[in-house]
Amino acid sequence: MARTPSIKASLHFDHEDSLTTILDPVQQAPYIVGVDEVGYGAWAGAIVVAAVWINRQLVSDEFLKELNDSKRLSSKKRLYLCQAFIQNQTWGSYALAYVPVKDVVQGLGLQHTLQAMVQAVQCLDGYLSGVLPQPLQGLNSGSWIYWREKGASTPFLHTIQGVVVDGRHGLPAKWVQKSCPGGDGQSYSVALASILAKVARDENMNELHQENPVYSWNKNKGYGTQAHQKSIAQYGLSQQHRPFYCKRAIAEGLSENVYPKGEMGI
């Protein structure tokens, strides 16, 4: 898939700061996190979400200047930024959650994605409060939290006070929140969440490509390109495909993704 040409970002912490002003004024440097998803509109593969907290006192200014909406960065640049953030642990923390293909069903994709976002934020809360050990797998799918995992949705020490969410929808949780359509092109936290989720999902699609190379998931990442549609017509659907998405697109004669923007309801 051709990527969107890179455009210089104009990112900020304004959304995070707007939440800070309505929190307890006694609270010093509250934990405000950004959340985003990747893969919502794909025809195959999981939906991956990331929650990110950036330590504004210690993160590199040069690193922040490099951030942008993941769709506007090359795969090489996204990987570089992920590695830099993960290797410099004092810059912040993150958590990944996912909605597997079997749960991406007609009419429930949005609901399950929002619940996975809650899961990711709660998991990140566990990391920041020290209740959970930070995973060693990095962005590997072994570190992803399944949103329906028993006991994993238990709130921890409520270290996180606020959440900036990419898109129009709020999370089904009691944190102070701000929903921001196009937030991955505005907020540093949300932009980094989009990058981490994108790299994690792309790496997983590369692994799935080894199992089903006929669909070229290493190139299309599960999205509805013309080549992907032709492969489905020739070989049928795999267990990693989302039947409703694919059948709808093919029935309507669409040559590209049903949800081209890839954001939830935007």
Query: Which tens digits make up the pLDDT trace of 23-81?
Result: 765 556 689 999 999 999 999 999 999 999 999 999 999 999 999 999 999 999 999 99
pLDDT for the residue 114: 95
**pLDDT for 102 beyond 80:** yes
Whole-model pTM: value is 0.87
Please tell me the distance from the alpha carbon of residue 162 to that of residue 266, in angstroms, as a whole number. 22
Query: Which tens digits make up the pLDDT trace of 146-197?
Result: 756 544 455 555 789 999 999 999 999 989 999 999 999 999 999 999 999 9
Domain locations in the chain?
30-208, 213-251
Amino acid letter, 110: L
- Determine contact, residues 82/114, Cβ cutoff 8 Å: no
Q: Using DSSP bridges, classify how beta strands 176-180 and 160-166 pair: parallel, antiparallel or unpaired.
A: parallel
pLDDT for the residue 4: 45
- Determine contact, residues 48/144, Cβ cutoff 8 Å: yes
Query: Which tens digits make up the pLDDT trace of 244-265?
Result: 878 766 666 554 444 434 444 4
The H-or-E segment that residue 98 falls in is strand 92-99
Residue with tokens 């694919």: 246
Amino acid letter, 204: N
- Determine contact, residues 202/192, Cβ cutoff 8 Å: no
Q: Which one is the CATH code of 30-208: 3.30.420.10, 3.40.50.2020, 2.40.50.140, 3.40.50.1000?
A: 3.30.420.10
- Determine contact, residues 1/219, Cβ cutoff 8 Å: yes
Distance of CA 141 to the CA centre of its chain: 13
Helix axes 188-211, 75-87, angle to 10 degrees: 110
Amino acid letter, 238: S
pLDDT band at 8 (very low <50, low <70, confident <90, very high): low
